């Protein structure tokens, strides 16, 4: 992933409580807590650079004294983390999630101060090692094999400037871009590291790629109309087989990914014979079940993706780019309206049951 970091292991420790005051029954202050706070424009890389030791320790509670029988609480330690963070314990179990700016997660609780119950001796704070696992949050995630033209497409539809190459090159770190519309609406698009066959089993960038797809609202599959072959040692795949394989990889990693709203961009329409290939592909997409007997059984997914729109494009000539942007906007707006409608129905149901 080069300079991009999407996983960071850190040590957190709550503060120790303060000493109690036996003679007067004074109670020591509780130790401070360690909090993760979601904040925009923060990266895991910046956390690592600012705190190279990756240790976060909260303050100790104040001791009880004649002047203050109840000691003050220790100072909390707040760590600003990016949006889209999952907090995992050392065994890989998810213990928290931060998706919106301002959300907080208690990573380590401070220890109790000394009191009569503890023979006036303070307790140590909670201590553990946790993993901060980042999953990019975007409206649309670009999904495709290497050299399908995802990076070129992102540079055409947004202000992002990803690295582009004309060989079986794959993006080695996620790129985020924003499509700007005339009415100032913005839609975020993530170009994620290219998939290869076997990604679900963590081949290539495998899980590093697929985990980012989870947080996107919609998928935009980008395929090469002329087919795909990673190297001379691997099998050539037609455009139709490419769609099946991409669906299979998503499905094997997590079934819910195939239920996301999806669009299909068929790239490189400037190539010779592209129109003929497109006619053949569209025929197969209309009734995919009729053509599954022509492909190997192991690349057939249990459920085929339902595409809201199929848009032929060329990132080289610019053909279909504006139409694609319009389709993305329409699809996102429809999804938002659907979510709002479901929310209104739930509210209405709650009101009716409360009456």
On whether residue 12 sits in a domain, the answer given is yes
Same domain, 96 and 206: no
Q: Which residues contact 318 (CB under 8 A, 6 or more apart)?
A: 156
In the predicted model, residues of the chain with pLDDT beneath 50 are 1-2, 164-171, 199-202, 204, 206
CATH code, 168: 3.40.50.300
Total structural domains in the chain?
2
CATH number at residue 19: 2.70.210.12
Contact 19, 2 (CB under 8 A): no
318 assigned to some structural domain: yes
Pair 11, 145 in one domain? no
* Inside any domain, residue 351: no
Q: Are residues 106 and 244 in the same domain?
A: no
Asked if 216 and 176 touch (Cβ cutoff 8 Å), the reply is: no
Quote the pLDDT of residue 196: 59
Tell me if 60 sits within 8 A of 15, measured CB to CB. yes
Q: Do 193 and 225 share a domain, yes or no?
A: yes
Are residues 129 and 206 part of one domain? Answer: no
Cα–Cα distances (Å) from 251 to 37, 242, 255, in that order, read 33, 14, 4
DSSP 8-state secondary structure symbol assigned to residue 166: S
Question: 52 lies in which domain range?
Answer: 7-134
Which pLDDT does position 171 carry in this prediction?
47
Query: 345 lies in a domain?
Result: no
Assess if residue 183 is contained within a domain: yes
Sheet architecture: strand order including 55-57: 55-57, 7-13, 127-134, 85-88, 94-98
Of 134, 151, 180, which residue sits at a domain end?
134
Confidence (pLDDT) at 166: 42
Q: Could you tell me if residue 2 is inside a domain?
A: no
What totals of helices (H) and strands (E) does the chain contain, helices first?
A: 6, 14
Residues 81 and 148 in one domain: no
Domain end point (choices 134, 155, 184): 134
Q: DSSP string of 53-111?
A: T-EEEPPPPPPP-SS-SBPPPPPPEEEEE-TTEEEE-TTS-EEEEE-STT-EEEEEPPP
User: Which pLDDT does position 132 carry in this prediction?
Assistant: 94
Report the half-sphere exposure of 278 (CA within 13 A, side-chain side): 17
The rounded distance, in Å, linking the Cα atoms of 76 and 70 is 18
Tokens 């190997």 -> residue: 296
280 with 322, same domain: the answer is yes
Instruction: Read off the tokens for 337.
Output: 């309206």
**Dmax (CA) of the chain:** 93
Residues 117 and 171 in one domain: no
For residue 233, the model assigns a pLDDT of 77
Domain boundary among 88, 115, 134: 134
Burial per residue of 255-290, b for 16 or more beta-carbon CB atoms within 10 angstroms, e otherwise: eebbebbbbbbbbbbeeeebeebbeebeebbeebee
Residue 188 resides in a domain? yes
Residue 246 vs residues 148, 240, 280, 327: alpha-carbon distances, Å: 12, 10, 19, 21
320-336 pLDDT, tens digit per residue, is 999 999 999 999 999 99
Whether residues 130 and 200 share a domain: the answer is no
Are both 114 and 142 inside the same structural domain?
no
Q: How many residues does the chain have?
A: 355
Task: Kindly state whether residues 93 and 241 are assigned to the same domain.
Answer: no
Q: Where are the alpha helices (DSSP H) in the chain?
A: 44-50, 150-157, 206-213, 239-253, 274-286, 321-354
User: 266 and 203, same structural domain?
Assistant: yes
């Amino acid at each position: 992933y080069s300079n991009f970091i999407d996983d960071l292991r850190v040590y957190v420790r709550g503060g120790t409580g303060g000493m109690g005051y036996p003679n007067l029954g004074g109670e020591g202050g509780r130790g401070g807590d360690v909090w993760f706070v979601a904040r925009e424009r923060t990266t895991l890389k910046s956390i690592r650079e600012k705190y190279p030791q990756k240790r976060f320790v909260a303050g100790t509670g104040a001791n009880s004294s004649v002047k203050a029988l109840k000691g003050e609480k220790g100072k909390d330690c707040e760590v600003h983390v990016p949006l889209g963070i999952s907090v995992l314990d050392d065994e890989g179990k998810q213990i928290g999630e931060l998706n919106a700016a301002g959300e907080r997660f208690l990573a380590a609780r401070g220890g109790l101060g000394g009191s009569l119950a503890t023979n006036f001796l303070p307790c140590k704070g909670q201590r553990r090692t946790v993993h901060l696992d980042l999953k990019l949050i975007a409206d649309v995630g670009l999904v495709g094999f290497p050299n399908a033209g995802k990076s070129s497409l992102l540079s055409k539809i947004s202000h992002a400037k990803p690295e582009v190459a004309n060989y079986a090159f794959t993006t080695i770190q996620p790129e985020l871009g924003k499509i700007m519309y005339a009415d100032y609406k913005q839609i975020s698009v993530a170009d994620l590291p290219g998939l290869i066959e076997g990604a679900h089993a963590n081949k290539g960038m495998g899980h590093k790629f697929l985990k980012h797809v989870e947080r996107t609202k919609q998928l935009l599959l980008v395929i090469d109309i002329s087919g795909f072959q990673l190297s001379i040692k691997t099998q050539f795949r037609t455009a139709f087989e490419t769609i099946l394989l991409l669906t299979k990889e998503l499905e094997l990693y997590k079934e819910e990914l195939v239920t996301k709203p999806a669009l299909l961009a068929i790239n490189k329409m400037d190539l010779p014979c592209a129109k003929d290939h497109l006619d053949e592909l569209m025929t197969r997409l209309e009734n995919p079940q009729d053509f599954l007997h022509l492909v190997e059984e192991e690349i057939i997914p249990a459920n085929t993706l339902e595409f809201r729109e199929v848009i032929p494009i060329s990132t080289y000539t610019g053909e279909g780019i504006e139409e694609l942007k319009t389709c993305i906007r329409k699809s996102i707006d429809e999804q938002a309206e659907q979510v709002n409608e479901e929310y209104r129905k739930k509210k209405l149901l709650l009101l009716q049951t409360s009456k």
